Structure formats: C-alpha cells, structure tokens
Chains A and B, each alone.
Chain A
C-alpha cells in the first residue's frame, strides 16, 4: 500500500497550485481519502476529505471556497486544487487513506491508516 504526493512548490500569494496523490497496492475506490497539512514546526491540521465514491466532500473552515478536493477512481488519483493561496497555507501536505472501506463518517470509529510522504507548499508574500 502506497501513497505518493506531488505538485508542491514555491508559489506567490494569490496564485494557484494543484497537488496530486497517486495510490497503489489497495482498492482506491473503496476508501475515503484526506488531505492533512503541517505548517513548519507546527502540528497536524486536517484539510479536506472526499468520500470513497466521490459523492461528498468536506473542508476545514480556513480553506472553504479556496481549495477543492477531487478524485479519479479510474486512475487511483487524489487531487487538491488550491486557489487564492495565502502565506498561512505554507505547509507539508499529506494525503491519507481511511482505515476501513466505505466510510460514511457516521459512527466512524476509525483513523487514517495509510499516509504519503508529503509534498511541501511554500507561499511567498
């Protein structure tokens, strides 16, 4: 089981960036997928989730209206489109997989069991 992020880099404030996460070694279409970020020297912050079948998505308040999570189950790919980037979006961005299949997040007793190595996004002001 493996997740590999890409697409990070240095970008000016106000610009856009698209992150990708390539999944392998498991049935991608059966698992909900997340983006979690970590600012330099700080803790983990959950950013967004997309349900396993792509029917629903959810975001942390600070990125609503600016970031869009998406997935292509035919390609085993997860994406994060980040628009109107701010200095406070500077972080390592991890993609992470649900622990169990078909999670609907009601009575969800499970965590995030598979993580990528992360991709670094630096927003310069």
Chain B
C-alpha cells in the first residue's frame, strides 16, 4: 500500500502569513491527491481535489500543487478561520483511501 507523510506535523503562524504544507507519497500517485481541513470537534471538509482543483465554495487563498510523489497546500494569507488541521489523502490505489497524518496550523 502507498504510505503518505506530511510535513511539518505542526506549525505556528500569524494572520496574514503565507503557509505551505507538504504531503509526500511513498510511490507516484500522479495527481490523485486531495486535501481536507478539520477544525476541533468538527468533521473534515474537502478543500482541494486532484491536487490543484478547489472544491466548490473554498476561498481562493487556498491552492494546491504537485504531481507524482510531492504535493503542497498553500494558504496565501492565513485568516483566523484557517487555524485547523489539514490532511492529504490519495485515491490512486483506492481502495484503500490513505490519509496523511495531518498538519496542525496553530496561532503564533
């Protein structure tokens, strides 16, 4: 099975900062890579699918890039509502649908 890793596991940032989160797959997954946001006590929500396509209603400050094994999620200007944990997930070998371990974005 394909393994997913994310870095960093956590970060602290200020409102207005540019934030970049990395996701790496153990084998090439083309662009079958999706990003989710989860706030404490809430269900995850889909942000980006197919590595770079924004889901409906997702603010344009979120963007995704990458292909193969290395992917990034970028928040161009961090807003107060963006403090959350972010997960990547692959669907190249689905099933299984493997999630990364998550990156927690906290307030500096």
Q: Determine the residue in chain A with the shortest Cβ distance to B55.
A: A113
CB of A65 closer than 8 Å to a CB of B: no
Task: Please indicate the chain A residues that have their CB under 8 angstroms from the CB of B55 in the complex.
Answer: 99, 111, 113
Q: How large is the interface on A (under 10, 10 to 19, 20 to 34, 35 or more residues)?
A: 20 to 34
A44 to chain B: which residues have CB within 8 Å?
A: 36, 38, 44, 87, 89, 99, 102
Interface of B, secondary structure class, is: loop
Q: Considering the complex, which residues of chain B in the window 58-94 have a beta carbon less than 8 Å from any beta carbon of chain A? A: 85, 87, 89, 91, 94
B residues adjacent to A (C-beta < 8 A): 31-32, 34, 36, 38, 42-46, 49-50, 55, 85, 87, 89, 91, 94-102
Having A44-B102, A112-B46, one finds 10 other A-B pairs with CB under 8 Å, namely A46-B96, A60-B96, A99-B46, A105-B91, A108-B94, A111-B36, A112-B44, A112-B89, A113-B55, A116-B43
